[in-house]
Amino acid sequence: MRGLAAVVLAVYGVVTAHAWCTKDDAGTVVRQWSQAFGIGGNGNREAAIQGGSGFFIQLMRDEPVMRRLFANVSGDNTTSPVFGAHALRVITGLDLCVNALVDIPVLEKLTSHLADQHGRRIGLQPRYFDMHLKASGDGLAELVDNFNMDAWYNCMGPIFKSITTLLH
């Protein structure tokens, strides 16, 4: 009996490992994300750069060791255009993930590409991504009325988790 339970749990675990969020939650996240940044179309590039920079400034303050990771993108000068471009790149990557929430095959290709890209970075730790997930949710809550934090975690949690799979 115990053996069967273990097998059932193991199978269940495999099935849910890549469970993405519901269509309802995905719709909410896409709508609220575009309310905050709307990078595509009539997007606000300045808001995106500021939102992205804010996160890294906070991260480097909380984790000084992170400065070394961002040495090549002017991590020591967060007002420089090089750093701003980096922040925009990260927000744009997040934007691609958010919009792929409604197209799971695209989302899976994207997350496996991002996992591959980040898996080769020495010094990256999964908890930095947990911090990013939380910081971006907190940041959006300030930009969007009635921000749905549950939907954010339901949808973005699995994305951030899948990006860090090669870091363990």
Ligand X SMILES: *[C@@H]1O[C@H](CO)[C@@H](O)[C@H](O)[C@H]1NC(C)=O
Judged by the rule CB under 6 A, the positions of this chain that interact with ligand X are 71-72, 77, 79-81
Least separation in angstroms between residue 28's CB and ligand X is 36
**Nearest CB to ligand X, comparing residues 79 and 146:** 79
Residue with Cβ nearer ligand X (86 or 132): 86
Nearest Cα to 50, choosing from 13, 21, 87?
87
- Nearest-approach distance from CB 20 to ligand X, in angstroms: 31
Smallest distance, ligand X to C-beta of residue 69, A: 6
118 is in an annotated binding site: yes
Could you tell me the CA-to-CA distances from 149 to 29, 68, 105, 122, 135 in Å, in that order? 9, 31, 25, 31, 12
Q: Which tokens in the block code for residue 113?
A: 């590409």
Cβ(90)–Cβ(138) below 8 Å = no
Binding-site residue ranges for heme b: 118
Binding-site residue ranges: 118
